[in-house]
Structure 1
Amino acid sequence: MAVVARLRARRVKAGCALVAAAGAALTGCAGAGESGTTAHAAPFTAGGVAVTVRTQPRDGTLRILADLRPERTGFHLYSLSLPNGGIDGIGIPTRIRAEGGLRATGPATTDAKPRVLRPAGLDVGLPVYEDGLVTLELPVRRVEGTDSAKVFLTYGACSETAGCLPPVRDQEVTLHLGSAD
């Protein structure tokens, strides 16, 4: 039995090494062209929301994609459309921006479905997204002379009945882009 367990463990380690090698081969090695640069940041969790950030070429352009998923059922991310100060001072808008090796060429967007959240005990409707994954998309261009970019995320998650999770403001994420030949 112990031999079988060791063989399985080796197989899992070998599989993980193969996945890591494939990820390294795909990360940041396509060159400087807008259509080929791919970079990934380490996933993290902050404010009760699991986050991954990456770049993705699409139709000759480059985009930063940030996947945000509240970890608790019934919690919703505030919308991109929420004003900077919230509504009556309530809520923290979802925001994404880039500095360093990437510059935004347009506003952030998402395909997530919006809805209105009415927190218990408050006479206010707040624009949020439906439960689940919200992917932010920010069109960007590569800036020559630097091989990394900083992405900053601001967001908050709230529930109609269980209150709000701690907001996250300007969470810095570094993307290593590779050389800009």
Structure 2
Amino acid sequence: MALTPAAAALLFTGCAGAQESGPSAVAAPFSDGGVAVSVRVESRDDGLRVLADLRPERDGFHVYSLTLPDGGIDGIGIPTRIRTDGALQPTGAATTAARERVVRPEGLDVRLPVYQEGRVTLELPVRRVEGSDRARVFLTYGACSESEGCLAPVRDHAVTLMLRPAGN
């Protein structure tokens, strides 16, 4: 079922601690693996988007790139991934406007693709699945520094979003 931006804007409430603000819903933020994370759903002219902001909590750390291969490079690093199930299904690949760069952690003979220091916003295009009112967003990520090593990776951290019918 295709939704107009106005109808889609009425669909979302986040899990505990969520807030609605205009056309978006925001799930309660969390911190795991040294990275602060927030997840929201937005309705845009071209459809629904799940957006996830990832920000390393320590200076000098960088979130691994979406382009990092599964399994890392020589077994080092964990690729950043976002996926959904339930009431929101992906309609395309995740993207980000963040600039990619390469780090070489001290003491390791490997070059790892990461994003610039600071917040990285992942964007996943999605569609609403009829008959379902619950969606889960799963995030996999890690952060690394050239001088302080790499932080423990986070695999498939789940965030639940509850959807309500349009007009409610």
> What TM-score, normalized by structure 1, do the two folds share?
0.79
1:106 aligns to 2:86 (yes or no):
no
1:130 Cα shift? 0.5
Q: Structure 1 residues 31, 44: CA separation in 2 closer, same or farther (over 3 Å shift)? A: closer
Question: Which runs of structure 1 show a deviation greater than 4 angstroms over 4 or more consecutive aligned residues?
Answer: none
Q: Distance in 2 between matches of 1:47 and 1:129?
A: 16
Q: Distance in 2 between matches of 1:59 and 1:89?
A: 41
Larger radius of gyration: 1
Normalized per residue, which structure has more strand? 2
Residue number in structure 2 paired with 1:132? 118
Count of aligned pairs? 151
SS in 1 for 2:25: coil
Residue number in structure 1 paired with 2:10? 30
Matches within 5 A, 1:131-150: 131-150=117-136
1:168 corresponds to which of 154, 157, 164? 154
Q: Distance in 2 between matches of 1:169 and 1:104?
A: 19
1:158 aligns to 2:154 (yes or no):
no
Where in structure 2 are there 5+ consecutive unaligned residues? 1-7, 13-21
Residue number in structure 1 paired with 2:5? none
> What TM-score, normalized by structure 2, do the two folds share?
0.85
Where in structure 1 are there 5+ consecutive unaligned residues? 1-27
1:66 aligns to 2:52 (yes or no):
yes
AA matched with 1:56: E
Residue number in structure 1 paired with 2:78? 92
1:118 corresponds to which of 82, 104, 124? 104
Residue number in structure 2 paired with 1:46? 32
1:56 aligns to 2:27 (yes or no):
no
Q: What do you get for the CA RMSD once the two structures are aligned?
A: 1.8
